Structure formats: structure tokens, C-alpha cells
Chain A
Amino acid sequence: MNELHPTMATLLAVSLEFLRGNLLPRLEGADAFNLRVAANAIDLVRRQIELGNDARSSEHRRLVRALGTEGDITVLREALCNRLASDPDFISRPEVQEALRETVLDQLAIEQPSYSGYLAARG
């Protein structure tokens, strides 16, 4: 067996089911609000486990194309920041636009997949 069972995904799913399906209906006011937010946080972590690696490698690939140079992802991110801050025309390049837009959308798929701006782009 190359994965421990139950998987992380299963453990998170059953925990969420208990919090949202079982506990939440019995709470009210601030407790209900905070529990809902906490469950959303766990759900976000679940999506990050599921989608995070792919999102990161796609981001890396786009950064290399946008900047025309290889390198560590954090170094390339920093380089993109510096370039966008200093050069107002850099954002006009299609490969830069793709690096920005697709990376933000991948991040929204993890963080806020029900956001109107995400649904309009990928819904």
C-alpha cells in the first residue's frame, strides 16, 4: 500500500461532515458563525492538498515562460514582482498576462471557488 488509510482526503471529509452536518445545526450565533468559518478553513486545506502541487508546477512553468529564464519558483515570483513594479509595459505581454491570470485562477480554485470573479472566468 503506497498510501496510508484512511487517506487524508477521507479523514478531512468525515471531519467536515461531522462539523457541518452534525454539529453546526445545533449551534447558533457566534458559535455557529465561527464553526462555519472553521469548517471552510478545513475545506480549503483539503482543496490545497488535492490541487496545490499541480497549481504550483503550472505556476512555475508559466513563470519560466513569462520571464524567459529558469530558476527556483520563489526567485522567479520575486523577479516577476520586480519587473511588474518597474516596467508598466511588461503586463502587456500575453505570456505575462497568462502567468498572472491562470495562476490567480488556480489559487482561487483552492481558496474561494465560489467567488463571482472565479465563476465568471471558469464557472
Chain B
Amino acid sequence: MTEGSGKVAAADAGAGGIAEALAPIVLRGGLGSIVQGSLKRLTAGASQQSWVFCTRADGGERGFVLRRMPEGAALLDGAVGPEREAAAIIAAGDAGVPVPTIRHVLAPGDGLGRGFISDRVEGETIPRKILRDEAFAALRPRLADECGSILARLHGTDIAGLDLPYVPPRAKLERLRGLYRRLGVRRPVFEAAFRWLEDHMPAYDPARPPALVHGDFRLGNLIVTPDGVSAVLDWEMAHIGDPVEDLGWLTVNSWRFGNRSLAVGGFGREEQMLSAYAAAGGDMVPRGAITFWRIFGSLNWGIGCFEMSLPTVEAELPTVERAMIGRRASETEIDILDELLELVA
């Protein structure tokens, strides 16, 4: 969309400037020339901007994605920044995880802030479509197995060259507590959850060494086709830690999108995921470890809801989307209670 087109939608304001800065980078990278008017802002992604665009090269058209944070924008608590995010994507890709190929990591001289350009992978990301559309009906019964084996490969990624923070369970809990205190909200259920998690910390098991953890592996961050998962997205929370965290996170009720009885992402059973995980080289995981990370996950998302709803340095008022996310913290409270009250009974 160029500045002269005169039909720039509100959400696409600034597209002209971005297209202008993007053109020479894309050309230099040998990705072709940007198709006029093809640059569009995606609505998804509350913390970073995602843009899609097409280029023409050798007679064909190709799709790309630009992930960017505007100059001076703050990272969410725990986010590693786009440069390290790109490095994690590349390493996981080498380990056999389906990821979008990274084409360029933005440098200060590029004039676009921080971020990276990757191939656009075709498929569906909207959870409710993946869970309800007929096109995915044949895939759904085996999607938990597929997630289990992808996670096994992801956790087997060579972490030697990755400059990612090491965040073991206790540090993870303390970091979340730090965020909770900074936000200045207190909720009885969250206080009880912190107490329980602190008293039930997973024991360090030398047989299960720290691994690459995605940190947000769930529907919404997976590109899915009727054949299976074609890409794992949104690596901004990647870190080195307890791999069971990813397995537990995928079973948090918030990520079942209404299909409460199917623990894994609203599409499968825990046993399914865990046996596929073990079959693909992952470790045997004790059930209790998943429970710890599921409760942690609900607490994490609940506090994240508050975090996103607060004013930022750039704006006194949050967007309507972010404001309403703040009123979803209570969803995680009932989920935490459903687990905790059974455990303490």
C-alpha cells in the first residue's frame, strides 16, 4: 500500500513508511521486489506488530512476514527480543521443528526498529477454526501426538550456541511474582497459587537436563493445515529451562478454547501427547510435573492479562482489545481453583 493510494485503512496507517524502508532490504536480500499494495498489517499479536507482504521474483510471487517492534517499544516481561527469537527459530528448525525460514534480522541502519523477516507459511492459526472446522476433522484426533513429537524435537534442540536466559522453575516463579508485585494488583486466588507452587517446586532431575523451552506453545501460535502443523510461531518467550513447562502450558484450560474435556489444546488427551513425546525421544514425564506447570501456566496467563491491560509508556489508555484482556484474569482464577481445591482436599 503506497502513500499515494489514498485508501489506507486505519489499522494500516504507517504502511507507506514501512513499505519504503522495507523495499531496499528485501531487494538487497535477494527476495525480489515488493508487490505494490501487498503490505498489510495483521491484527493478531498483541505485543508485536506483524505485517505480511508479497514480492515478485523470477516470474513468481512469494509471501513474507515482517515481525517488528516500533523504535523504543518495550518488551513484555520475559520476552527475549527479536534477535534472539530469530536465533531460537533457526536452531529449532535445525532440530526438525517446523518453523518459518528466517530471511533477514533487522539492524539499526534498516530504519524499521527491531524485528525480522521470514517466509510466510500457509495455513490456519485461528484456534476456533482448527478446533471446529470440517477441514481439520481428520487431523484433530492425531494433533496431540503431533504436538508431542514436535515438542520432543524442540526440547532436543542444540542449545550450545544460543544466547538465551536460563530460567529454572524457581527463577521462573520468582520472576512472575516480581511482575505481579510491580503490577500492584492482589487477588486471593493468585496468592494461594503462589503459595502452592512454591511448596511444590519440581525437583531438579539430572537425568532431565535444561532444554530449549518455547514458552508459548499452543493453538494461536501454530500454523496448521489439514496435514498437520506446518510452523511453530511466536518464539518471543523462548528460554532455557524445564521442558515440562511447554507440555503443561499446552494443557492450560485457557488454551483449550472451550473444549474443556480435551486437556491438550482442546483437541487431545494428555496420555496421547506424552507417549508421542517419549516415542520421539523426549523423556518420560511424571504427571505431577505437568500439574505444576499447568497451574503455573494459568497463573502466568492471569497475571499476563493484567499486564496487557495496563497503560504503556506510549499510551495512557490501552487499546480496547488489551483493556478487555484484563477482565479475563478471572477465567484463570476458576481454573486454578478447580486444580488447587482438588489437590488440597
The answer to whether B330 touches A116 (Cβ under 8 A) is no
The minimal Cβ–Cβ distance linking B256 to chain A, given in whole angstroms, is 7
Secondary structure at chain B's binding surface: helix, strand, loop or mixed? helix
Contact partners of B41 in chain A: CB under 8 A? 30
Partner of A117, one of B199, B259, B260, B327: B260
Residue of B nearest to A120 (CB): B260
> Does any Cβ of B come within 8 Å of A61's Cβ?
no
The answer to whether B341 touches A108 (Cβ under 8 A) is no
For chain A residues 87-113, which have a beta carbon within 8 Å of chain B?
Answer: 87-88, 91-92, 97, 99-101, 103-105, 107-108, 111-112
Selecting from A2-10, A17-25, A76-84, the interface stretch reads: A76-84
> Does any Cβ of A come within 8 Å of B258's Cβ?
yes
The answer to whether B320 touches A37 (Cβ under 8 A) is yes
A26 CA to B277 CA, complexed, in Å: 46
Partner of A108, one of B186, B331, B345: B331
A31 CA to B13 CA, complexed, in Å: 13
Q: Chain B, interface size: which category?
A: 35 or more
A99 CA to B187 CA, complexed, in Å: 12
Partner of A84, one of B188, B320, B323, B333: B188
The answer to whether B321 touches A91 (Cβ under 8 A) is no
Known contacts being A30-B10, A118-B334, is A41 close to B323, with CB within 8 Å? yes
The answer to whether B324 touches A37 (Cβ under 8 A) is yes
A101 CA to B335 CA, complexed, in Å: 10
Contact partners of B10 in chain A: CB under 8 A? 30-31
The answer to whether A81 touches B195 (Cβ under 8 A) is no
Partner of B187, one of A38, A40, A81, A97: A81
> Does any Cβ of A come within 8 Å of B9's Cβ?
yes
A18 CA to B286 CA, complexed, in Å: 53
Contact partners of B337 in chain A: CB under 8 A? 100-101, 104
The minimal Cβ–Cβ distance linking A48 to chain B, given in whole angstroms, is 10
Contact partners of B320 in chain A: CB under 8 A? 34, 37-38, 41
The answer to whether B192 touches A115 (Cβ under 8 A) is no
A92 CA to B340 CA, complexed, in Å: 10
Contact partners of A92 in chain B: CB under 8 A? 344-345
The answer to whether A44 touches B327 (Cβ under 8 A) is yes
A65 CA to B258 CA, complexed, in Å: 34
Partner of B253, one of A33, A111, A117: A117
The minimal Cβ–Cβ distance linking A123 to chain B, given in whole angstroms, is 11
> Does any Cβ of A come within 8 Å of B5's Cβ?
no
Contact partners of A101 in chain B: CB under 8 A? 334, 337, 341
Nearest 7 A/B pairs, CB to CB: A30-B11, A117-B334, A116-B260, A84-B192, A84-B191, A85-B191, A104-B333
**Footprint of B on A, CB under 8 Å?**
29-31, 33-34, 37-38, 40-41, 44, 77-78, 80-82, 84-88, 91-92, 97, 99-101, 103-105, 107-108, 111-112, 115-118, 120-121
Q: A29-B11, A30-B43, A81-B187 are in contact. List 13 more A-B contacts (CB 8 A).
A: A31-B10, A33-B43, A34-B319, A78-B186, A81-B188, A84-B192, A85-B195, A88-B195, A91-B195, A99-B188, A100-B341, A115-B334, A120-B260
